[in-house]
Amino acid sequence: MLEVDLDLCIGCKICERVCPFGTIVVVPETKKAKVLDGCTLCGTCVNACPENALSIERKAISEEEIAQFKNVFIWGEWERKGGEIKIKNVVLELLGKGKDVANKLGESLAVILPGKDVKHLIPELFHHGADTVYLCEHELLDHYSTDGFTNVIASIISTEKPSVVLYGATPNGRDLAPRIAGRLALGLTADCTGLDINSSRQLVQTRPAFGGNIMASILSPYTRPQMSTVRPGVFPKPKPDTSKTGKTQEVEVNLKPISIRTKIIEEIPSEDEGINIEEANILVSAGRGIGSKENLEMIQEMAKVINGTVSGSRALVDLGWIPHPQQVGQSGKTVAPTLYFALGISGAIQHLVGMTSSDAVVAINKDPNATIFDVADFGIVGDIMEIIPEFIRIVKEEKEKVL
Ligand SMILES: Cc1cc2nc3c(=O)[nH]c(=O)nc-3n(C[C@H](O)[C@H](O)[C@H](O)COP(=O)(O)OP(=O)(O)OC[C@H]3O[C@@H](n4cnc5c(N)ncnc54)[C@H](O)[C@@H]3O)c2cc1C
Ligand code: SF4
Ligand code: SF4
């Protein structure tokens, strides 16, 4: 229930202006805010009130209330690539897993799609499994902002009452999901690598814990919806079915500039612009075993001859030899290439959690007991400084024969 502390309220009307549902007004006679019927408890006004005069009291959810929450929702995150708006790969991956979860619950799958000029993304969402798309277009959603996207998504969650909401564990997903969880007083499991439904119809959210040394299975028994962020590259993308369609629900967005406290002053391309290890088909990953920064040239040459992309362990990022966006692992990115070369990487658990979804792993290490060999499909015990130049020479030679 939304409470107004009349002693604190100064009648400034900010709550009235930001409420997307028109369910709070300042009474002219008393100059105090009053909550009307229809308040969805979305929390937008609580956040905006400069006097902290508003609060929402939430109680633990009962079995009867839990039964009212239905359907699996996914945040339809998009990105601008070369001036074009494209849906992020992780959304398609989540559609595959989300469908599996929705089928187990006997519920449907929906995508919340906030943005400006994003209608063209809808068919792709249907083809990958969405039954419904909530299209929320507005001028102020042209760029991601924590406030704008939180207000829109929290409102939809409050009115539609999904049982599960999934977000990609991307930089923006990691910003948005906790904000919504805070706004709606929900549980949130971050960085999941597994999702399933148990016999009590609860979402079992699996994620590495204690530095990756155990895999924890987490439930959210007291709140609905159950919310998780999921690492990109963990689940496979479903095969698109271009004949599949669905229902588009246009949502009226009532955002005001005052609701968004941040402003974009300048856009600076990120240092991984052009290098996306999450989408690479072949990764040539280097570890401390390469010995020096200069030897990275050899790794880059190897990647070039086999059309691969260079990535690395955290050791190389800590040494400043490669940028963080190229780090594989628990505190880096989760990757799932067709072929993963681990060159001079010992195989610490924090590295393994980021690459064991690869189709095939080739490890080269001079220590025959290195843990990386436990997850390798092909292992070579030896010195990378001898093996890689030879490998490059042979590939070049073979390529020339074909030409
Ligand atoms: C909270 C936390 C989060 C972390 N997150 C990550 C993460 O996201 N990603 C990550 O990678 N790590 C992460 N780490 C660090 C991780 O624990 C390891 O320290 C790191 O992965 C080690 O990197 P490495 O394998 O390159 O180096 P090392 O462990 O030093 O291994 C180097 C390997 O190279 C081999 N070698 C040496 N010379 C040669 C040669 N000439 N030829 C062949 N082999 C050779 C050695 O035998 C050795 O196995 C994290 C740690 C913590 C605590
Ligand atoms: S924003 Fe806060 S102080 Fe202002 S009218 Fe609303 S409740 Fe009162
Ligand atoms: S909680 Fe949301 S719906 Fe309720 S009055 Fe505040 S802004 Fe409006």
Model pTM greater than 0.75? no
- Measured CA to CA, the distance from residue 235 to residue 184 in angstroms comes to 27
For ligand 2, atom 8: residue with the closest CA? 9
Mean pLDDT of 92-96: 97
Nearest to 221 by CA among 158, 155, 163: 163
**Does 403 have pLDDT greater than 60?**
yes
Which domains, and CATH codes, for the chain? 2-56 (3.30.70.20), 63-254 (3.40.50.620), 277-402 (3.40.50.1220)
Mean pLDDT of 130-159: 96
Dmax over CA atoms of the chain, in Å, equals 89
Look at 132-141, 165-174, 353-362 and tell me which has the smallest mean pLDDT. Answer: 353-362
User: Which are the contacts of 64, defined by CB distance < 8 A and separation ≥ 6?
Assistant: none
**Does 28 have pLDDT greater than 70?**
yes
Please report the pLDDT score of residue 312 as a whole number.
97
Please report the pLDDT score of residue 274 as a whole number.
65
For ligand 3, atom 6: residue with the closest CA? 45
Cα of 370 to ligand 1 centre, how many Å? 10
Q: Which whole-number Å values give the CA distances from 290 to 215, 296, 327, in the listed order?
A: 30, 7, 15
Mean pLDDT of 135-147: 96
Q: Which residue has the higher pLDDT, 307 or 336?
A: 307
In the structure, which protein residues have their CB atom closer than 6 angstroms to any atom of ligand 3? 2, 19, 21, 23-24, 35, 39-45
As beta bridge partners, residue 146 has: none
pLDDT band at 273 (very low <50, low <70, confident <90, very high): low
Kindly identify the ligand whose nearest atom is closest to the C-alpha of 185. 3
**Does 357 have pLDDT greater than 90?**
no
**Does 119 have pLDDT greater than 90?**
yes
Q: Is 13 in the pocket of ligand 2 (CB under 6 A)?
A: yes
Cα of 371 to ligand 1 centre, how many Å? 10
Residue type, 243: S
Among 51, 55, 256, 258, say which to mutate for ligand 2: greatest number of ligand atoms within 8 Å of CB. Answer: 51
Length of the chain: 403
Cα of 187 to ligand 2 centre, how many Å? 28
Per-residue pLDDT of 369-392, as tens digits, reads 999 999 999 999 999 999 999 999
As beta bridge partners, residue 56 has: 2
Look at 147-156, 204-213, 342-351 and tell me which has the smallest mean pLDDT. Answer: 204-213
In the structure, which protein residues have their CB atom closer than 6 angstroms to any atom of ligand 1? 211, 287-289, 313-315, 327-332, 344-346, 348, 350-351, 354, 364-367, 370, 383-385
pLDDT band at 222 (very low <50, low <70, confident <90, very high): confident
- Measured CA to CA, the distance from residue 16 to residue 48 in angstroms comes to 10
Residue 311: both structure tokens together: 């990535």
Q: Which residue has the higher pLDDT, 124 or 209?
A: 124
- Measured CA to CA, the distance from residue 44 to residue 41 in angstroms comes to 8
Please report the pLDDT score of residue 231 as a whole number.
85
Cα of 323 to ligand 1 centre, how many Å? 16
Please report the pLDDT score of residue 402 as a whole number.
78
For ligand 3, atom 3: residue with the closest CA? 39
Per-residue pLDDT of 317-349, as tens digits, reads 999 999 999 999 988 888 888 899 999 999 999
- Measured CA to CA, the distance from residue 386 to residue 389 in angstroms comes to 6
Please report the pLDDT score of residue 211 as a whole number.
60
User: Which ligand 2 atom minimizes the distance to the CA of 4?
Assistant: 7
Cα of 48 to ligand 2 centre, how many Å? 8
As beta bridge partners, residue 109 has: 72
pLDDT band at 57 (very low <50, low <70, confident <90, very high): confident
**Does 172 have pLDDT greater than 80?**
yes
Mean pLDDT of 29-55: 93
Among 7, 13, 29, 56, say which to mutate for ligand 2: greatest number of ligand atoms within 8 Å of CB. Answer: 13
Q: Which residue has the tokens 């070039």?
A: 304
Please report the pLDDT score of residue 100 as a whole number.
97
User: Which ligand 3 atom minimizes the distance to the CA of 43?
Assistant: 1
Residue 183: both structure tokens together: 């706004």
Please report the pLDDT score of residue 390 as a whole number.
97
pLDDT band at 95 (very low <50, low <70, confident <90, very high): very high
**Phi/psi at 256 (5° precision):** -120, 150
**Does 271 have pLDDT greater than 70?**
no
